[in-house]
Amino acid sequence: MRILLKLVVDTDADAAWRALHSPRAVAELYGPLMELAPLSPEGLPSAWEPGNDVAVQLSMAGALPMGRQLIHVSERVTSDASGTVRIFRDSGIPLTGPLASLDVWDHQMAISPAPGDPTKTLWRDRLVIGGPTAVALWPVLWSIWQWRAARIRALAPSWAHDPAPAPAD
């Protein structure tokens, strides 16, 4: 089963790509609805890197435990008619909690400049789930993904952090 998002967000593709690699920015996408906390005493990495396997605890509003999730990061670059597309993939798996009954978890986010406006980003998000409870969990995850889309739109303008040029002497 699939959940798809396709939106244009108000930040450039480089800023969106940096945000996808920031555990803090990713955690903000779910807040305050869901909280993501590291299970390792070292905490979350400063940036997601290909090959990372990071176990996290998910909780609803920081109070109700929702289970543990393994985040496994990979990425690739491809192209389409509009140019370069960078794809960030989490192919980890829920370890405990209601989502642990899923045996397929494949979350891919494709980032590219928006067609006709390189100052904005075309964000494509695809979650593929499978397992005995996928049909029952799909409506819940679809709802969370709608929340996620709203958060992406709201937070994207804050991701650009290029400093203003220094005044000329």
Residue 166 is predicted with a pLDDT of 58
Residue 165 is predicted with a pLDDT of 58
Alpha-carbon span 38 to 46, nearest angstrom: 12
- Residues 122-138 pLDDT 10s: 999 999 999 999 999 99
Q: Please provide the CATH number assigned to the domain covering 2-158.
A: 3.30.530.20
Residues of the chain with pLDDT under 70: 162-169
Residue 64 is predicted with a pLDDT of 87
- Residues 69-98 pLDDT 10s: 999 999 999 998 878 999 999 999 999 998
Calculate the alpha carbon distances from 50 to 29, 53, 74, 90 in Å. Answer: 20, 9, 4, 10
- The three-point CA angle 42-155-111 to 5° equals 85
| Dihedral sign from CA coordinates of 129, 68, 101, 65 | negative
